[in-house]
Amino acid sequence: MWRLYTVARSPSDPGADTWANGSWFNGGGTMWNAGSYDPETNTLYWGTGNPAPDWNGDGRLGDNLFTCSLIAVDANTGKMKWYFQFSPHETHDWDSAQPPILFDAAVKGKPRKLVSLANRNGFYYVLDRTTGEFLTGIPFVKQTWAQGLDAKGRPITLPNIEPTVEGTLVYPAITGGINWNSPSYSPLTGLFYVPAREAGSYYIKGEEKMAPGNSVGMVGGGGGGAKFMTGDDVYTTVRGLEATTGRKTWEFKMTGDAWTGTLATAGGLVFSADAGSNLFALDALTGKPLWHLQVGTAVRANPITYAVDGEQYVVAVAGNSVFAFTLPQVAQAPQAPAQGH
């Protein structure tokens, strides 16, 4: 029916002028994760990948649109309604492919249709999903690359954060404040549940080798790489953020390198898993651990929930096994907070 390119395919295409010397031709920016759909406005919301080469931006000066962006697309025509770029001229492999969350809430006393995204660059964003207007942006993990965001949501970058031959220590790590694993949202609590990653990396600049048939990975045309930090201050966690502001209300800290997303249910639970193969449930309002099960192998896929004959199930895939659980009917849902708080 239609096709939409996220990066220009000719010098006259929108955004081509943000790529120096025609570098849009092999500029990256792919979509590689799930998006979201608003049936009321028939709009698709999709996050885009980072520009290439990943760690050496010398040959692609400019903002490199529409990489590291959230784009809103008419589902019938494929026409881009609006875009918001999180990380212009990105050089740390912090793509913006994280699944966006759609919700309605009051902002400063006014009802708004919102879209939020916890970005790999370490910032949590809230936009008006009708217009793309930037409303809120705040770090949800440690970040050392930006002083903050300006009034339009553009990052105010700090000096000496670019990759170097020797390696530059920057937070978050190459795996990001979040990666491909999905967050979730509960209208009952007004909270956004993010599987966050606290770590930094040494970002290394190398020679870009963009050529036909040459991979853009660390050993190919990526223009460098990164060395992941280790230590006691490296951990993963599930955090409950106030969805309209990004303010952290609680966290459930884990050891190890967990890669599972979160699932919020109407019964007031949040499901996820840790690096030790423990599937667990938290209280959605407080983050208090309520239940866990050792499943014997890593849980990388997000848990899901559904109902059959009125009975609710929660299912998780671990290794080559599928675990299914029923939920009791007596679970008490938390009380919804006042709108806008």
Q: What pLDDT is stored for residue 329 in this prediction?
A: 64
Q: Residue 298: pLDDT above 50?
A: yes
Furthest C-alpha separation in the chain: 63
pLDDT digits (tens, 9 = 90+) for 96-108: 999 999 999 999 9
- The beta strands (E) that lie in 48-200 are given as 69-74, 80-85, 101-107, 110-118, 123-128, 134-139, 146-149, 155-157, 168-170, 184-186, 191-198
Instruction: Report the pLDDT value the prediction gives residue 49, as an integer from 0 to 100.
Output: 97
Distance of alpha carbon 307 from the chain centroid: 28
pLDDT of residue 20: 97
User: Is the Cβ–Cβ distance between 202 and 159 less than 8 Å?
Assistant: no
Q: Given 54, 63, 93, 274, which residue is catalytic?
A: 93
Portion of the chain with pLDDT greater than 70, in percent: 92
What are 167's two structure tokens? 């390696």
pTM: 0.93
Lowest mean pLDDT of 71-80, 296-305, 325-334, name the range.
325-334
Identify the pLDDT of residue 341: 44
Q: Which domains does the chain show, CATH number per domain?
A: 16-326 (2.140.10.10)
More confident residue, 339 or 44: 44
Q: What angle do CA 298, 36, 252 make, to 5 degrees?
A: 40
Q: Please say whether the beta carbons of 152 and 162 come within 8 A.
A: no
pLDDT in tens, 166-223: 999 999 999 999 999 999 999 999 999 999 999 999 999 998 766 666 555 544 457 8
pLDDT reading at 165 higher than 80: yes
User: Which residues 6+ apart lie within 8 Å of 84 measured at CB?
Assistant: 69, 70, 125, 127, 132, 134, 153
pLDDT at 111: 96
Q: In the annotation, is 54 catalytic?
A: no
